[in-house]
């Protein structure tokens, strides 16, 4: 036996028929004029009847009860009673947009969401809530049936991510809510209909925001200079004051006025002896993430390259490979192969053994002046899709016939000409070799941008795999991927986060999870150490202009079909006995009509055949 709930509570207004009928029964009988010759007898036994009543005392009559029952039955039908399954549970999965712009909308969200969820719930159907951050599929902010607890979870929740795709979280929400449940996407920007049948719940509002839109550090005139871009996203001009802090040092605030939509740059050199600082903008809006930025002197990992030993004996203008690597940033040349991170080598056909480290291998053609230059290779140049060659143009490469590196099945060709892989990768990832399998000096490869870019990309790959200290400027939430020692005895990583607000967090991270390290979601510094070794120090600033722009934020909730009435329809079935109730109603109306018309008939009958009354 399931619980009965009312599908249409407005039907209870039908109960107004009860007082209406009572009033009719109280007032309906106008006093009829009756001739009487025995009033003196009536007076003897009924002093209380004197004067009569405007409102008649309610009399217990069958017609009254029939009419009341008819009204109650009609009310019952109007309320559309529905039967609820005994264990019916409605699931509501709420995905809250974890993007930073939600910080400004959070007070409104805390006020409106629990209230609106309350309106979605019904008495009969229990509601199970899931609260999910759109940034994370794994963690649920709340799971339970208590809206107060859900509100507390929302209060503790801090949105700080950049723009991201909520689809995975919405897919999870749909899975948790099921087909009958409600998946709600809570954000601050009204946008297209969310995927997976989720309903949109936008609670944003335009904010006159101005803040730091980006930070960079570069060398100018021999000094390291930081530059910050300030932007006014609003429609009103704003005047702010910026200042720089570093330890106990703090500069005087400098005023800057930003017209609507304007972008301005502020810059200053790093003070002497200062490598890290915090740029602060005076607060003036509801969005505080872009009012501070952590800045440091970036110091990328240096890749030590060992150029081919053969070039050392050549005059500098013939040191092709050395010249190429020395032109690349973050590269230091070394003659010590042991300490080199990357070896640049000339392919020796007589000794085809590959270097034991990451290396760049170049083929040199046989220079036989008597024979003249070797013929140019013909055939179409084809480029494989690969990160190293993505977007590069190799079509203008001209190279001559020469010896070639014997191909292996495990090679990963990048550029082809005919059947010859001109550029390919060989070896496992940590010891990968980039092979230029054509007469490098005899080709125009040195002058091709594709060659330099490919080398640069290969160096970056090598740099990423190096365990070395690195200082970098990062955006909030940016993946940092510090490279750590993954040996069996390697200690875990210690991640220390110093927020610009002064808050400091320290946590240990297993080495296996080093790749998950991200810059803090709020402006600040992050340091990753492995034991005593500093692996990474990063300064994070908020630079997601999409999140900082609130001009399109608005409030809109699409909950029409998710209201309680719809929920009831989904989780309940109509009362199968409604037809019987209709018949009962008709019977009551018919019987009531018959009893109403009957007294007149009876009165007439009594008047025509009165019997004598014996008083003896």
Partner 1 sequence: MTFAKPEESAVRAAHGRARAWAGMFRLPLRNRVWRGMSGDFAGKGAGSSLDFQDHRAYMPGDDPRHINWQAYARTGNYTMKLFREEVRPLVDVALDVSPSMFFDAEKAARAAELFAFALEGAQRAGAIPRTWLCGGGEAVLIPVEAALSGAWPSMIPDSGGDWSADGRKPEKGAPPPPVRPALERVAWRAQALRVVVSDLLFPGAPEETAGLLSARDGRGLVLCPYSPKEAAPDWDGNVDFHDVETGGRYPRRVDPPLLTRYRAAYARHFELWKAAARRHGVALARVPSNGDFAKALQLEALPTGAVEPWA
Q: Which two tokens stand for residue 39?
A: 């009033």
Contacts of 215 (CB under 8 A, 6+ apart): 226, 227, 228, 229, 279, 293, 295, 473, 541, 543
Q: Does 380 bind partner 1 (CB under 8 A)?
A: no
Residue 463 neighbours by CB distance under 10 Å: 19
Q: Does 616 bind partner 1 (CB under 8 A)?
A: yes
Measured from the CB atom, the residue of 56 and 460 that comes closer to partner 1 is: 56
Q: Does 59 bind partner 1 (CB under 8 A)?
A: yes
Chosen residue from 1, 31, 252, 488 binding partner 1 by CB under 8 A: 31
Chosen residue from 40, 353, 371, 385 binding partner 1 by CB under 8 A: 40
Per DSSP bridges, beta strands 533-541 and 249-250 are: unpaired
CB of 28 to partner 1, least distance (A): 9
Measured from the CB atom, the residue of 313 and 615 that comes closer to partner 1 is: 615
Q: Does 37 bind partner 1 (CB under 8 A)?
A: yes
Measured from the CB atom, the residue of 273 and 612 that comes closer to partner 1 is: 612
CB of 557 to partner 1, least distance (A): 57
Decide if 242 contacts 282 (C-beta within 8 A): yes
- Alpha-carbon distance of 267 to 242, in angstroms, equals 11
Decide if 365 contacts 402 (C-beta within 8 A): yes
Chosen residue from 10, 24, 29, 265 binding partner 1 by CB under 8 A: 29
Q: Does 613 bind partner 1 (CB under 8 A)?
A: yes
Q: Does 38 bind partner 1 (CB under 8 A)?
A: yes
Chosen residue from 247, 391, 487, 612 binding partner 1 by CB under 8 A: 612
SS3 12: helix
Instruction: Give, in order, the Cα–Cα distances in Å from 254 to each of 231, 250, 268, 282.
Output: 16, 12, 12, 10
SS3 210: strand
Q: Does 36 bind partner 1 (CB under 8 A)?
A: yes
Give the residues across from 414 on adjacent strands.
none
- What are the phi and psi torsion angles at 183 (to 5°)? -105, 125
* Contact code string over 240-269 relative to partner 1, x by CB under 8 A: ------------------------------
Decide if 276 contacts 283 (C-beta within 8 A): no
Measured from the CB atom, the residue of 488 and 615 that comes closer to partner 1 is: 615
DSSP string, 117-186: HHHH--SSSEEEEEEEETT-SS-EEEEES-HHHHHHHHHH----B-S---HHHHHHHHHHHTTTSEEEEE
Instruction: Give, in order, the Cα–Cα distances in Å from 85 to each of 3, 89, 202, 577.
Output: 7, 9, 33, 16
Q: Does 370 bind partner 1 (CB under 8 A)?
A: no
Cβ burial, residue 279 (10 Å; 0-12/13-18/19+): buried
Chosen residue from 1, 12, 49, 176 binding partner 1 by CB under 8 A: 49
- Alpha-carbon distance of 102 to 159, in angstroms, equals 6
Measured from the CB atom, the residue of 410 and 608 that comes closer to partner 1 is: 608
| Chain Cα centroid distance, residue 486 | 32
Measured from the CB atom, the residue of 487 and 610 that comes closer to partner 1 is: 610
Instruction: Give, in order, the Cα–Cα distances in Å from 508 to each of 188, 201, 465, 525.
Output: 34, 37, 21, 16
Chosen residue from 44, 179, 248, 419 binding partner 1 by CB under 8 A: 44
Decide if 415 contacts 383 (C-beta within 8 A): yes
Chosen residue from 1, 8, 23, 30 binding partner 1 by CB under 8 A: 30
Chosen residue from 41, 62, 408, 583 binding partner 1 by CB under 8 A: 41
Measured from the CB atom, the residue of 252 and 607 that comes closer to partner 1 is: 607
Chosen residue from 13, 24, 53, 449 binding partner 1 by CB under 8 A: 53
Number of residues in contact with partner 1, rule: CB under 8 A?
Answer: 35
Region near partner 1 per CB under 8 A, out of 41-49, 83-91, 205-213, 218-226: 41-49
CB of 589 to partner 1, least distance (A): 24
Q: Does 600 bind partner 1 (CB under 8 A)?
A: no
Per DSSP bridges, beta strands 254-258 and 81-84 are: unpaired
Helix 102-120 with 147-156: angle, nearest 10 deg: 170
Q: Does 111 bind partner 1 (CB under 8 A)?
A: no
Decide if 169 contacts 95 (C-beta within 8 A): yes
CB of 85 to partner 1, least distance (A): 51
CB of 59 to partner 1, least distance (A): 7
Measured from the CB atom, the residue of 351 and 616 that comes closer to partner 1 is: 616
Q: Does 513 bind partner 1 (CB under 8 A)?
A: no
Measured from the CB atom, the residue of 55 and 370 that comes closer to partner 1 is: 55
CB of 602 to partner 1, least distance (A): 9
CB of 23 to partner 1, least distance (A): 15
Q: Does 597 bind partner 1 (CB under 8 A)?
A: no
Measured from the CB atom, the residue of 24 and 582 that comes closer to partner 1 is: 24
CB-hemisphere CA count at 13 Å for 242? 25
Q: Does 313 bind partner 1 (CB under 8 A)?
A: no
For residue 370, what is the DSSP state? T
Residue with tokens 């929920």: 567
Q: Note the residues at the interface with partner 1 (CB under 8 A).
A: 29-46, 49-53, 56-57, 59, 603, 606-607, 610-613, 615-616
């Amino acid at each position: 036996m399931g619980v009965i709930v009312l599908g249409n509570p407005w039907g209870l207004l039908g109960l107004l028929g009860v007082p209406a009928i009572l009033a009719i029964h109280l007032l309906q009988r106008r006093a009829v004029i009756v001739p009487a010759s025995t009033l003196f007898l009536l007076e003897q036994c009924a002093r209380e009847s004197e004067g009569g009543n405007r409102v008649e005392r309610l009399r217990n009559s069958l017609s009254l009860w029939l009419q009341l029952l008819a009204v109650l039955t009609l009310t019952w039908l109007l309320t559309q009673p529905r039967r609820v399954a005994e264990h019916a549970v409605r699931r509501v999965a709420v995905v809250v947009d974890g993007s930073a712009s939600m910080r400004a909308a959070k007070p409104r969200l805390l006020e409106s969401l629990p209230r609106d969820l309350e309106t979605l719930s019904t008495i009969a159907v229990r509601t199970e809530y899931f609260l999910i951050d759109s940034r994370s599929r794994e963690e649920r902010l709340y799971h339970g049936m208590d809206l107060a607890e859900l509100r507390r979870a929302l209060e503790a929740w801090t949105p700080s991510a950049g723009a991201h795709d909520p689809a995975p979280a919405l897919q999870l929400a749909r899975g948790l809510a099921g087909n009958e449940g409600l998946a709600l996407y809570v954000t601050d920007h009204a946008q297209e209909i969310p995927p997976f049948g989720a309903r949109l719940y936008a609670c944003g509002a335009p904010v006159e925001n101005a803040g730091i839109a980006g930070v960079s550090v570069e060398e100018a005139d021999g000094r390291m200079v930081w530059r910050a871009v300030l932007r006014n996203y609003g429609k009103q001009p704003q005047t702010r004051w910026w200042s720089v802090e570093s330890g106990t040092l703090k500069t005087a605030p400098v005023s800057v006025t930003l017209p609507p939509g304007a972008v301005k740059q502020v810059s200053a050199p790093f003070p002497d002896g200062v490598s890290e600082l915090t740029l602060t903008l005076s607060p003036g809006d509801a969005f505080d993430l872009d009012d501070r930025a952590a800045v440091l002197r970036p110091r990328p990992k240096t890749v030590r390259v060992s150029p081919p030993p053969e070039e050392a004996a050549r005059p500098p203008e013939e040191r092709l490979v050395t010249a190429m690597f020395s032109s690349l940033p973050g590269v230091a040349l070394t003659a010590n192969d042991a300490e080199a991170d990357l070896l640049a080598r000339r392919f020796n056909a007589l000794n085809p053994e590959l270097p034991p480290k990451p290396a760049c291998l170049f083929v040199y053609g046989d220079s036989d002046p008597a024979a003249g230059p070797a013929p140019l290779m013909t055939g179409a140049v084809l480029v494989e899709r690969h990160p190293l060659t993505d977007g590069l143009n190799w079509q203008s490469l001209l190279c001559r016939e020469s010896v070639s590196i014997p191909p292996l099945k495990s090679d990963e060709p990048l550029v082809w000409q005919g059947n010859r892989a001109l550029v390919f990768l060989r070896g496992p990832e940590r010891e990968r070799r980039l092979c230029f399998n054509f007469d490098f000096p005899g080709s125009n490869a040195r002058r091709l941008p594709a060659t330099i870019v490919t080398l640069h990309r290969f160096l970056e790959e090598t740099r990423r795999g190096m365990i070395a200290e690195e200082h970098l400027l990062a955006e909030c939430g940016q993946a940092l991927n510090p490279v750590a020692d993954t040996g069996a005895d390697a200690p875990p990583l210690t991640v220390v986060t110093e927020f610009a607000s002064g808050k400091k967090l320290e946590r240990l991270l297993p080495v296996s999870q080093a790749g998950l390290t991200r810059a803090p979601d709020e402006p600040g510094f992050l340091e990753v150490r492995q034991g005593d070794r500093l692996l990474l120090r990063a300064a994070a600033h908020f630079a997601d202009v999409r999140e900082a722009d609130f001009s399109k934020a608005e409030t809109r909730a699409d909950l029409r079909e998710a209201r309680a009435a719809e929920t009831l329809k989904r989780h309940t079935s109509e009362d199968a006995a409604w037809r019987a109730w209709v018949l009962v109603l008709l019977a009551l109306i018919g019987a009531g009509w018959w009893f109403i018309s009957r007294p007149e008939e009876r009165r007439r009958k009594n008047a025509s055949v009165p019997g004598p009354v014996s008083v003896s």
